[in-house]
Amino acid sequence: MTPTGFAQGRETPDGSFSYEPHGVGVRVPVGCFLTHRIEGAGRRITDQFAGVDRVGIAATFSRFCNWRIDFTCTDTDNRTYRTSRGATHDSCSGDPLRHAAPQVVPKYGNACARFYVNGGQRASQCHSIVK
């Protein structure tokens, strides 16, 4: 069930990509998804987390180095007014995950999670916060 004021989100697939952490080539296969879950009512966010899910061959071979997850809020004109930048994790992980503290957003618009690998944005997923 979708809490009052929050639109149902869905996983955002990320296509295959390559990058070079510390000069070593890494290839991430298709099958990785950014999942963003948000709960609350009105402009109050009681729980929010984002992480990467992996299926198929990606579940076995995908690892992300130099990754971070940011949470952003935009107004109804899609202007970003708040960014909570996550820590950059230099170590490699197959299951990036970030949890955010409860908050009240001052404006209606979108709450988004943005996944970065080696400095480049790889995926984003947003939920509409509406009256």
pLDDT digits (tens, 9 = 90+) for 19-49: 454 554 444 445 678 889 999 999 999 999 9
What is the distance between the alpha carbons of residues 107 and 122, in angstroms, rounded to a whole number?
26
Q: What pLDDT is attached to residue 1?
A: 29
Stated pTM of the model = 0.74
Q: Is the pLDDT of residue 57 over 70?
A: no
What is the distance between the alpha carbons of residues 112 and 126, in angstroms, rounded to a whole number?
4
